[in-house]
Chains A and B, each alone.
Chain A
Amino acid sequence: MPRKPPAEPIDHHYDIPRLNRAFWWSAAALTLAFIVMIVADYNRDWKTFQRVFLRLDAKQTRDAALAARQKALDDEHTKLVGELRQARAEIATHQTTLHQLDAQLKALDPKIYLADQQYKFTKASFDAERYKYEDRLANDRRAAPSAKRDFDRISQELDQRTVALATLKKQDAEIRARVDAINAKKKELESTIEKRTAAFRLSRDKYVSLKQDTLFQLRNAAILDMINPTLRVQQVQLPDQFINVNFMKIPKVDRCTTCHVGADRKGFEDPKIKEVFRTHPALHRMVGSESMHPATTFGCTPCHGGRDRATSFWSAGHSPETEAQERAWTKKYDWEFDKFNENPVLPLKYAEAGCYRCHSSETNFGDAPTLDSGMRVVETLGCWGCHRIEGLEKQGIPKVGPSLEKIGSKLSKDWTTRWVMNPPSFRANTRMPNFFYLENFVDVSGPTPPTAAQKKMNEDGRVENDTMVNAIVSYLYDRSKPAEVPPVPGRGDVARGQKLLAERGCFGCHLADPNAQRDLTGTYRQFGPNLAGIGSKASRDWIYHWISNPKQWNPDTKMPNLRLSPEDALDIAEYLSTLKAPPAFDQAGLPKTDEKTLEQIALYFEMSTKTLFDAKADLAKMDLHGKEVYTGKNLIAHYGCYACHAIPGFEDAKPIGTELTEEGSKAVHRLDFGFIHIPHTRQDWFWTKLHTPRVFDRNRARGWEEKLRMPNFRFSDRELDQVVTAVLGFQQLNAASSVVKELSPREEAIEKGRRIVKNHNCQGCHVFEGVGGSYRSLVADPSLAPPIIQGEGAKVQPDWLFGFLQAPKTGQIRPWLEVHMPTFGFTDQELNELTRYFAALDRAEYPFLIADYVTTPGTWAAGKKVFELLKCAQCHPRSIEDMNRPGVDRASLAPNLQMAETRLRHDWINSWILRPDEWMPGTRMPTNFPKNDDGHRVSPLGGLIDSPQFAKDREEFAKLFGSDEAAKQFLSSPDAVTRALRDYVWTIGINGGTAPVPLKAPAATQTASGFGAPPAAAGPAGTH
């Protein structure tokens, strides 16, 4: 079949000029799009920030330069310049000579060059000839003599060359010395002027380099900036800090300083400077290159959170602190909530959360006050009892609530019921949270009056809670271990009891203030329960036995034994039993158990292990009380009461709450926001949860068993911020171990001690580590208050401290004190850890000290003499008799020196005598050795001894030291004098300070040191 011939092509199907126009327009559009692309790519916020910062820096540098100039160009400068001018004129008169010398130098120059070259060439030949000679010696002995000749020849030549070169150089040096002599004055002046103006010139040069001149603009112009721009992304690589992307760990690269240009530089602290440019507020601790957290290792985002590689405000994940800030940011930076950013920047008020992930092994966080308070609240309120927190779990904290094992013998059932229903109605500042009648059972919080359905739900919830409270209390009393509280014969003296309560030190841990609000961080006096209302809670008899020996009632109690005499205990118990609760508490109605509800609750628990029919059969066998006890036990397990209280039957129960160890890293979508519309961030969820724990049940139709269980701790807003900071800090550790805080043995000893201190509230009475001593403010006369024991580790001997802490005796050191150091009943381990802790705090030796210190009779005698001269005995008794002497005001006495030898560290005594004002500011011990202007301690005795009234003493000292001069030298040396005093004081406890001999040192050692021989000479006699 023949193919049809192809049709002839026609000219064009389309109108070509139209296509041309279309092409023109589309090409124009593409060009425009291209330009838009370049502009959009070039315009980055960080460039603007850097330009603005550059201007700021330039301005500050300019100011600094001007100030430096002002300072440099003073009268002295004018004088120097004048002198320089003179010097120059002076030089001008020597012009001819200088010209001549210069000509000579010029003539010498080629000669030296040539001589140097010849020397070098000869040296090279010399080395070669030497090798040749050595080679012949080793391999071809016959040819050696000729090689030796060549070598000798060249060696000679080298000597000549060396001399020639040296001669020429000497000539040159001589001429130069003459030139320098003429110029000397001028050079010196020039150098002085240069030095005086260096600061000015430096800042001026810097200012010039900071100017945004044409070159700057060119280097940073669009497209051209690909070559070598000055505005560039700044970053630190952090190989030890990771981003966990689940299947691998990626090192962080922090680019924060791209915008926060001034963060790591001093000089931008002024609050008037824009926040973005300001110096980090704690440069000495963070970011600064000399701080312990330099930005090059720790970066910014590992602590603050945020997207490390981001270079724009939004993508960095900045989190607004308030709604106002959010609005402002939205307007200014197009900020919007980024739900895909799993790790946004922590709002500033929670910033300290970043510390915890690396420092979780520590107990106190003094440099991070919000976190420190947060952790204190978390510890004290017992959050860790229900929610496992690994960092705290490792530290071993005792349960925060009292033991309920013998509740039946201590408290009335009605009281317990009312207490469980609403603890703050009895004691406003209690730590016990509200478990019942909360909004997911009884919601009366709505702004509108409740509907009929709501009323019905509230009523059901109330009945359920009533039944639950009764059931729990029934269980507690049913299982309560029998304990006897024998009646106390006689009555106490209420007034004396009140006085003793204040004097013995009870208020170091307790308040007795019915209006007190909870404050767990501002005072140490809320460690124990508030004693207000105690008379409505416990009987006089019980109180008497309790305060007489708390550990007898409960071996695990934190309450120490104050060693009260029976009369004292009776008076205090008498007084405490008069403290009654507000009448509203005692009159509050008691809940009624609804049998049907009880049945339902019990059935639910029964059915967790049994089938419906077995469960019902089981229940049918129980009477009402049996059902209550059964239900109570299960409700205690349901609500986790045993997390804080010791309850029979729950010795090994597991905590009921979510583990919080990495809560701060939890994915936000794993937090159940329910129907509550708050921003979907961790901090908002934590805050809301802590504020109203059952709020996420709102609008949910759930049975009681499905409802949220977390109790309401009635947090204040301040506490909320603190606890949220702590919880945000419980983070996954995405860092190499090299950047995590690792405790040194010393720090570990300190942390162990701090834990014991925190568990026993030592700082309620004593000040150490710079904090504590709440009780001291209650005592008018500071000398009657529990002592400040700052520096205790350096002061006392470990053995003594061990013994003292184990069994302090009343009146042992300061018999005049009314307040008692309690007996805590520490274990051996605790005692060791505590003594070690105090030693570690002051970097003192631990645990072994030399028992026998060495002195010479001369030094000892001099010490004794000084002791008398300074009238130390006026305040310090040297024996018990001294203290009991008639007419002695015991309150004004200083510690008994008899105990120095057994109690104090040898080297501490002289240090204390030398600088008591530094050891304990405000001490009554006089500063006998004041500081001079250079800050050195001086001994005024050297001068004092010259006055006529001490003529006799002077003679005696001269006799002791063999010459007046030696005596003077001794008396003028504060170190020598204090050491001598110490040596004397040390013997007071041994022999009453009568002789230097009983320093308990072996004779050989004493002799050896007396004559300055090395200790080795003492030989085996050195042991005893």
Chain B
Amino acid sequence: MALIEFVKNAIDFLSAPQYLVTGALIGLVLAIHWRPIWTPKGGAVLFALLAGGIGLSYLDPNFNKVATLPDNVPIVGMIFLVGFFFWFSMTQAYANDRRIAEGRPPFEGEDSAQKVFSWPDLVYVELICLVIVMAVMIVWSIYLKAPLEEPANPTDSPNPAKAPWYFLGLQEMLVYFDPWLAGVAFPSIIIVGLMAIPYIDTNPKGNGYFTFRERRWEITIFLTGFLVLWCMLIVLGTFLRGPNWNFFGPYEFWDVNKLVPLNNINLSEIIWIKVLKRSLPNFWLIREMFGLAVVGFYVAALPLVFSKTLLRRFYEKMDPVRYFIGVSLALMMLALPIKMYLRWIFNLKYIVAIPEFAFNI
């Protein structure tokens, strides 16, 4: 019993955002290089661990309460689905890599050499899928009622007020960024960026077949963005954010009374008051010049610097326009974990804080 409590407490502790994100970032990079996982046997072990862990967690009343809410059940499903496709594609990729190393074409290459009729080979399978999905959806809708709550009240929002599950990643970003950034700028950039990928990444390798070795960087960047910064934030928002958007471990009771200090300060305060021991200048441009310089450097200068140093290989391979757009997008994506760490380590609120124009970064 004490052991179980210890494990639960450990998990509760480790699932705090800072450890979760750090763990996920490191874990992801390690995992995609650890080949034993990406085999059927590894997959089975992975599945057993995940299913067993979640299954056992249902025995905990607090976990059970949250995980069995009708709107949270699909997220549990999402964990398994995303996990499966991640495992499947990685396994295929490693298998193909092995074949390519042996000088053979990838599996998909063999397949695509064949030509088949769309009926029955395509449409029939689709039909079967459709029938199965319909049957599942019907049974689901009968036994899991629509999660209706009280009538909406603009003066009295529910606590916690949660976005639809697919926006929970964005809502999590609101913890670290100003609403205009997290709610307006970033979503637009994400959509535009996703649309731009085919034009930036013109490398034909991996087209139509799974491979890891040939696209190491691209896959790592994509998986970081998709798995850690999107799917995991949805899971975090669903299961680990409770009343007042406070963090709660998976086995913790969602207590409305819980209070967490939120004592964050701006970069300008750190520099002017803590370091220079002077009062804040009145004029915003002077007050925020350090922050603006940092942001300017990050956005404008860093791609240039990288083109000469770290990313020279890419710069040489791609033409400048593609390079700058691609790197800018990647930096945007990286801005989220960077800001998270700044918050966790320095309690940094905003790098640039200009309440005069409601402009904060």
| Nearest CB in chain B to that of A19: its residue | B124
Contact with A along B116-143 (1 / 0, CB 8 A): 1100110011011001101100110010
How far, in whole Å, are A341 and B148 apart by their CA atoms in the complex?
A: 10
Contact residues, B106-123 vs A (CB, 8 A): 111, 113-117, 120-121
Judge whether A887 is part of the interface by a CB distance below 8 angstroms. Answer: no
Contact residues, B144-168 vs A (CB, 8 A): 148-156, 159
B135 & A26 in contact (Cβ 8 Å cutoff): yes
Contact residues, A217-260 vs B (CB, 8 A): 243, 245-247
Judge whether B257 is part of the interface by a CB distance below 8 angstroms. Answer: yes
Judge whether A7 is part of the interface by a CB distance below 8 angstroms. Answer: yes
B115 & A29 in contact (Cβ 8 Å cutoff): no
Shortest Cβ gap from B227 to chain A (Å): 31
Whether A26 contacts B128 in the complex (CB less than 8 A), given A8-B115, A19-B120, A246-B155, comes out as yes
How far, in whole Å, are A962 and B134 apart by their CA atoms in the complex?
A: 106
A247 & B159 in contact (Cβ 8 Å cutoff): no
Shortest Cβ gap from B272 to chain A (Å): 27
Whether A27 contacts B151 in the complex (CB less than 8 A), given A19-B124, A36-B138, comes out as no
- Chain A residues near B127: list those with CB within 8 A: 23
How far, in whole Å, are A674 and B256 apart by their CA atoms in the complex?
A: 9
A16 & B148 in contact (Cβ 8 Å cutoff): no
Whether A667 contacts B156 in the complex (CB less than 8 A), given A9-B117, A341-B150, comes out as yes
How far, in whole Å, are A26 and B148 apart by their CA atoms in the complex?
A: 31
- Chain B residues near A37: list those with CB within 8 A: 138, 142
Contact with A along B48-67 (1 / 0, CB 8 A): 00000000000000000000
- Chain B residues near A22: list those with CB within 8 A: 128
- Chain B residues near A33: list those with CB within 8 A: 134-135, 138-139
Shortest Cβ gap from A296 to chain B (Å): 25
How far, in whole Å, are A667 and B153 apart by their CA atoms in the complex?
A: 11
Judge whether A453 is part of the interface by a CB distance below 8 angstroms. Answer: no
How far, in whole Å, are A245 and B114 apart by their CA atoms in the complex?
A: 61
Interface residues on B, range: 20 to 34
A14 & B113 in contact (Cβ 8 Å cutoff): no
B115 & A10 in contact (Cβ 8 Å cutoff): yes
- Chain A residues near B149: list those with CB within 8 A: 340
- Chain B residues near A246: list those with CB within 8 A: 151-156
- Chain A residues near B114: list those with CB within 8 A: 7, 10, 13
How far, in whole Å, are A27 and B133 apart by their CA atoms in the complex?
A: 11
How far, in whole Å, are A23 and B126 apart by their CA atoms in the complex?
A: 10
Judge whether A586 is part of the interface by a CB distance below 8 angstroms. Answer: no
A16 & B120 in contact (Cβ 8 Å cutoff): yes
Question: Pick the contact of B116 from A10, A30, A247, A667 — CB < 8 Å?
Answer: A10
How far, in whole Å, are A16 and B122 apart by their CA atoms in the complex?
A: 11
B135 & A340 in contact (Cβ 8 Å cutoff): no
A669 & B138 in contact (Cβ 8 Å cutoff): no
Judge whether A40 is part of the interface by a CB distance below 8 angstroms. Answer: yes
How far, in whole Å, are A245 and B149 apart by their CA atoms in the complex?
A: 13
A9 & B124 in contact (Cβ 8 Å cutoff): no
A14 & B138 in contact (Cβ 8 Å cutoff): no
- Chain A residues near B132: list those with CB within 8 A: 26, 29-30
B139 & A36 in contact (Cβ 8 Å cutoff): yes
- Chain A residues near B159: list those with CB within 8 A: 669
How far, in whole Å, are A7 and B109 apart by their CA atoms in the complex?
A: 13
B131 & A30 in contact (Cβ 8 Å cutoff): yes
B142 & A40 in contact (Cβ 8 Å cutoff): yes
Judge whether A34 is part of the interface by a CB distance below 8 angstroms. Answer: yes
Contact residues, A22-78 vs B (CB, 8 A): 22-23, 26-27, 29-30, 32-34, 36-37, 40
B142 & A14 in contact (Cβ 8 Å cutoff): no
Judge whether A342 is part of the interface by a CB distance below 8 angstroms. Answer: yes
- Chain B residues near A110: list those with CB within 8 A: none
Judge whether A2 is part of the interface by a CB distance below 8 angstroms. Answer: no
Judge whether A943 is part of the interface by a CB distance below 8 angstroms. Answer: no
Question: Pick the contact of A342 from B116, B124, B150 — CB < 8 Å?
Answer: B150
| Nearest CB in chain B to that of A341: its residue | B150
How far, in whole Å, are A467 and B308 apart by their CA atoms in the complex?
A: 76
B138 & A12 in contact (Cβ 8 Å cutoff): no
How far, in whole Å, are A681 and B127 apart by their CA atoms in the complex?
A: 50
Judge whether A131 is part of the interface by a CB distance below 8 angstroms. Answer: no
| Nearest CB in chain A to that of B147: its residue | A340
How far, in whole Å, are A16 and B256 apart by their CA atoms in the complex?
A: 58
Shortest Cβ gap from B276 to chain A (Å): 29
B125 & A30 in contact (Cβ 8 Å cutoff): no
Shortest Cβ gap from B229 to chain A (Å): 32
Judge whether A800 is part of the interface by a CB distance below 8 angstroms. Answer: no
B131 & A6 in contact (Cβ 8 Å cutoff): no
- Chain B residues near A32: list those with CB within 8 A: 135
Shortest Cβ gap from B307 to chain A (Å): 35
| Nearest CB in chain A to that of B117: its residue | A9
Judge whether A216 is part of the interface by a CB distance below 8 angstroms. Answer: no
Which of A6, A40, A674 lies at the interface centre, i.e. has the most chain B CB atoms within 10 A of its CB? A40
Question: Pick the contact of B125 from A9, A14, A243 — CB < 8 Å?
Answer: A14
Judge whether A121 is part of the interface by a CB distance below 8 angstroms. Answer: no
- Chain A residues near B135: list those with CB within 8 A: 26, 29-30, 32-33
B148 & A340 in contact (Cβ 8 Å cutoff): yes
Shortest Cβ gap from A618 to chain B (Å): 32
How far, in whole Å, are A243 and B152 apart by their CA atoms in the complex?
A: 13
How far, in whole Å, are A23 and B124 apart by their CA atoms in the complex?
A: 8
- Chain A residues near B151: list those with CB within 8 A: 243, 245-246, 342
| Nearest CB in chain A to that of B111: its residue | A13
How far, in whole Å, are A674 and B114 apart by their CA atoms in the complex?
A: 69
A13 & B155 in contact (Cβ 8 Å cutoff): no
Judge whether A113 is part of the interface by a CB distance below 8 angstroms. Answer: no
Shortest Cβ gap from A192 to chain B (Å): 62
Shortest Cβ gap from A308 to chain B (Å): 13
- Chain B residues near A669: list those with CB within 8 A: 159, 256
| Nearest CB in chain B to that of A243: its residue | B151
A36 & B142 in contact (Cβ 8 Å cutoff): yes
B115 & A7 in contact (Cβ 8 Å cutoff): yes
- Chain A residues near B153: list those with CB within 8 A: 245-246
- Chain A residues near B134: list those with CB within 8 A: 30, 33
B116 & A12 in contact (Cβ 8 Å cutoff): yes
How far, in whole Å, are A285 and B176 apart by their CA atoms in the complex?
A: 61
How far, in whole Å, are A6 and B116 apart by their CA atoms in the complex?
A: 11
Judge whether A675 is part of the interface by a CB distance below 8 angstroms. Answer: yes
How far, in whole Å, are A976 and B123 apart by their CA atoms in the complex?
A: 106
- Chain A residues near B124: list those with CB within 8 A: 14, 16, 19, 23
Which of A30, A246, A342, A667 lies at the interface centre, i.e. has the most chain B CB atoms within 10 A of its CB? A30
| Nearest CB in chain B to that of A41: its residue | B142
How far, in whole Å, are A10 and B151 apart by their CA atoms in the complex?
A: 59
How far, in whole Å, are A40 and B138 apart by their CA atoms in the complex?
A: 11
Question: Pick the contact of B150 from A7, A16, A247, A340 — CB < 8 Å?
Answer: A340
How far, in whole Å, are A246 and B124 apart by their CA atoms in the complex?
A: 51
- Chain A residues near B115: list those with CB within 8 A: 6-10
B128 & A7 in contact (Cβ 8 Å cutoff): no
A14 & B128 in contact (Cβ 8 Å cutoff): no
A7 & B120 in contact (Cβ 8 Å cutoff): no
- Chain B residues near A243: list those with CB within 8 A: 151
How far, in whole Å, are A29 and B121 apart by their CA atoms in the complex?
A: 22
How far, in whole Å, are A29 and B150 apart by their CA atoms in the complex?
A: 35
A14 & B156 in contact (Cβ 8 Å cutoff): no
Shortest Cβ gap from A24 to chain B (Å): 10
| Nearest CB in chain B to that of A669: its residue | B159
- Chain B residues near A36: list those with CB within 8 A: 138-139, 142
How far, in whole Å, are A667 and B113 apart by their CA atoms in the complex?
A: 66
7 contacts across the A-B interface (CB closer than 8 A) = A12-B117, A14-B125, A16-B120, A16-B124, A22-B128, A34-B138, A40-B142
- Chain A interface residues (CB < 8 Å from chain B): 6-10, 12-14, 16, 19, 22-23, 26-27, 29-30, 32-34, 36-37, 40, 243, 245-247, 340-342, 667, 669, 674-675
A-B CB proximity, top 6 nearest: A33-B138, A30-B135, A26-B131, A33-B135, A9-B115, A29-B135
Contacts A7-B113, A14-B125, A30-B132 supplied; 17 other A-B pairs, CB < 8 Å: A10-B115, A12-B116, A12-B121, A13-B121, A16-B124, A23-B127, A26-B135, A27-B131, A30-B131, A30-B135, A32-B135, A34-B138, A37-B138, A37-B142, A245-B151, A246-B151, A246-B155
